[in-house]
Structure 1
Amino acid sequence: MTTKKKINYRRREKLKDFLCVLPAVIFFALFVYYPILKLFQISFTNWNLISDTYKYVGLKNFKWLFKGSGFASLINSLTITFRYTFW
């Protein structure tokens, strides 16, 4: 086998490998990475689901979560979840 044929064979093998992995990459991009990125985008807005309008509020949502009663609710929910999951 000549060197040129070896290179073409390797290139075809790499292409086949890439095409085998491509559906998994697309799946993760659509169903894992996109929702996570969308979650971060939404967390910095005040989004009204009924009228589908939103306003950028920055870290205001996080301040409300950690200073208000929402943080106590979060800790309580996590405690119950971990208790029933691991004990």
Structure 2
Amino acid sequence: MTAVRFQADADLRQAIVTGTIRRQPDIDFQSAYAALLESKKDPEVLAITAQNGRVLVTHDRKTMPAEFGVIHNVTNYFWSFDSFAKYVNQSRN
């Protein structure tokens, strides 16, 4: 089974990325800064995330779901932070 590769949205605090990696060193979680996502519009963020084979983790429940729904060539999906936190906690056990 292929490991899930995560991408932090620019609205996700860097402390969350850092803390997650500290608790789960083998998790592949790239910061928005490393992916050059800051100041990019939602459709571009989703496209870059998909091109890199990652799952976007975001706090943005307002605009991102709508953008995700209109982009049909995006083969990945995004997770709210709550869903991501559940995944990380389950994988620790």
* More strand per residue: 2
TM, length-normalised to structure 1 = 0.21
Larger Rg: 1
- TM-score, length basis structure 2: 0.20
Structure with more contact order per residue of length (Cα contacts < 8 Å, sep ≥ 6): 2
